[in-house]
Amino acid sequence: MPWHRAFMSVPEQLNYKFVLSIEGNDVATNLKWAMASNSLCFMTRPKFETWFMEGTLIPAYHYVELKDDYSDLEEKIHYYTHHPDEAKAIVRNANRYVAQFRNESRERLIGMLVLQKYFERSGQLSLPQRAYP
């Protein structure tokens, strides 16, 4: 197989211009660090949704979209090899997308609000009712 390689650590993968992010039975675990890197992320349209909000990612803006069977991988690699400015723009957009998750206090607050809403909706928490004039 021309594209198959032995196992590579994350630092080894980051030496490459392009990183392939592949979903399995769940989200692609490398997606977050791939989009935070200086490498261009190639992947199929995300099928799974997590806190990272994969469904809001925009093809050709945050990542390079591949067909589900990866039949266009070689064509896309060739294209972005010859259009480095477009590749760099996508990497910058991906980096900006990831940056929104790096604010620890905001992420903690959002997590607490999600938990509060879950406990309220599931009947495990009832907040005191306010009396309004």
pLDDT (tens digit, 9 = 90+) per residue, 71-98? 999 999 999 999 999 999 999 999 999 9
Residue 86: inside a domain, yes or no? yes
Supply the pTM of this predicted model. 0.80
Q: Which domain holds residue 18?
A: 10-102
The domain tally of the chain equals 1
Give the closest residue to 35 by CA, choosing from 105, 85, 107, 101. 101
Residue 23: inside a domain, yes or no? yes
* Per-residue confidence (pLDDT) for residue 123, from 0 to 100: 86
Amino acid at 104: E
Residue 82: inside a domain, yes or no? yes
* Per-residue confidence (pLDDT) for residue 82, from 0 to 100: 98
Residue 20: inside a domain, yes or no? yes
Which residue numbers in the chain have pLDDT < 70?
1-3, 127-133
Residue 122: inside a domain, yes or no? no
Residue 112: inside a domain, yes or no? no
* Per-residue confidence (pLDDT) for residue 126, from 0 to 100: 75
Tokens of 85: 């400015």
